Structure 1
Amino acid sequence: MTTPALGRPTIDRETCVALDAADPLSRIRSRFSLPDGVVYLDGNSLGALPRDTAAHVQRVITEEWGTGLIRSWNDAGWFAKPQTVGDLVAPLIGAGPGQVVLGDSTSSSIFQATVAAARLRPGRRVIVAERGSFPTDLYVLESVQELLGGGRPLERRLIADDGPTLDDVLDEDVAVVLLTHVDYRTGRMHDMAEVTRRIHAVGAVVVWDLCHSVGAVPVDLVGADADFAVGCTYKYLNGGPGSPSFIWVAEQHQADARPALTGWHGHAKPFDFTVDYAPASGVERFRVGTPQLLSMSALEVSLRLWAEVDLGEIREKSLCLTELFISLVDARLTPRWGVEVVTPREPARRGSQVSLRVGSGYEIMQALIERGVIGDFRAPDLIRFGFTPLYTSYADVWDAVDTLESVLDGEVWREPRFARRGTVT
Structure 2
Amino acid sequence: MTSDLDQTDPLASYRDAFVGAETPLVYFDGNSLGRPLRVTGDRLKAFVDEEWGGRLIRGWDEGWMDLPATIGDDLGRICLGAGAGQTIVGDSTTVLLYKTMRAAVAARPGRTEIVVDRDNFPTDRYVAQGVADECGLSIRWIDVDTSAGVTAEQLAEATGERTALVVLSHVAYRSAYLADVEQLTRIAHDAGALVLWDLCHSAGSVPTELDAWGVDLAVGCSYKYLNGGPGAPAFVYVNAGLLDSISQPIQGWIGATDPFLMGPTYAPAAGIRRMLSGTPPVVGMLALQDMLDLLEQVGIDAVRAKSVALTDHAVELAEELLPDVALASPPDSARRGGHVTLNHPLMREVTAALWRRDVIPDYRDPHGLRIGLSPLSTSFAEVRRGLETVRETLDALTR
Classify the TM-score, shorter chain. over 0.9
The one-letter code of the counterpart of 1:174 is T
Which of residues 8, 23, 30 is equivalent to 1:22? 8
Which of residues 360, 365, 389 is equivalent to 1:379? 365
Distance 1:321 1:70 in 2: 45
Task: Tell whether the 8 Å contact from 2:178 to 2:335 is kept in structure 1 after alignment.
Answer: yes
Shift of 1:143: 2.3
2:36: which partner in 1?
49
The one-letter code of the counterpart of 1:26 is A
Give the TM-score normalised by structure 1.
0.89
Is the counterpart of residue 409 in structure 1 residue 395 in structure 2? Answer: yes
Task: Tell whether the 8 Å contact from 2:343 to 2:366 is kept in structure 1 after alignment.
Answer: no
Shift of 1:167: 2.0
Which of residues 198, 202, 206 is equivalent to 1:209? 198
Shift of 1:347: 1.7
Query: What does the per-residue CA deviation read over 1:321-358, in whole Å, with 9 as the maximum and x for residues that have no partner?
Result: 11111111112212xxx211100011221001000111
2:307: which partner in 1?
318
2:144: which partner in 1?
161
2:261: which partner in 1?
272
SS of alignment partner, residue 129 of structure 1:
strand
Query: Stretches of 4+ moved more than 4 A in 1?
Result: none
Is the counterpart of residue 80 in structure 1 residue 69 in structure 2? Answer: no
Distance 1:66 1:104 in 2: 24
Query: What does the per-residue CA deviation read over 1:260-287, in whole Å, with 9 as the maximum and x for residues that have no partner?
Result: 2111100011111111111111111000
Shift of 1:301: 1.7
Distance 1:294 1:184 in 2: 27
SS of alignment partner, residue 59 of structure 1:
helix
Which of residues 223, 226, 249 is equivalent to 1:260? 249
1:243: which partner in 2?
232
Distance 2:338 2:355 in 1: 20
Distance 1:227 1:198 in 2: 13
Is the counterpart of residue 193 in structure 1 residue 182 in structure 2? Answer: yes
Shift of 1:29: 0.9
1:37: which partner in 2?
24
User: How big is the alpha-carbon RMSD for the aligned residues of Structure 1 and Structure 2?
Assistant: 1.5
1:300: which partner in 2?
289
Distance 1:224 1:401 in 2: 37
The one-letter code of the counterpart of 2:128 is L
Structure 1 unpaired stretches of 5+:
1-12, 415-425
Shift of 1:17: 1.7
Is the counterpart of residue 101 in structure 1 residue 93 in structure 2? Answer: no
Structure 2 unpaired stretches of 5+:
none
Which of residues 346, 352, 355 is equivalent to 1:366? 352
Structural mapping, 1:126-145, within 5 Å = 126-145=113-132
Distance 1:397 1:202 in 2: 44
2:215: which partner in 1?
226
Task: Tell whether the 8 Å contact from 2:202 to 2:337 is kept in structure 1 after alignment.
Answer: yes
Is the counterpart of residue 390 in structure 1 residue 376 in structure 2? Answer: yes
Distance 2:249 2:298 in 1: 36
Task: Tell whether the 8 Å contact from 2:116 to 2:142 is kept in structure 1 after alignment.
Answer: yes
Distance 1:145 1:131 in 2: 15
SS of alignment partner, residue 165 of structure 2:
strand
Give the TM-score normalised by structure 2.
0.95
The one-letter code of the counterpart of 1:370 is R
Distance 1:138 1:17 in 2: 41
Distance 1:367 1:29 in 2: 26
Distance 1:238 1:213 in 2: 13
The one-letter code of the counterpart of 1:134 is F
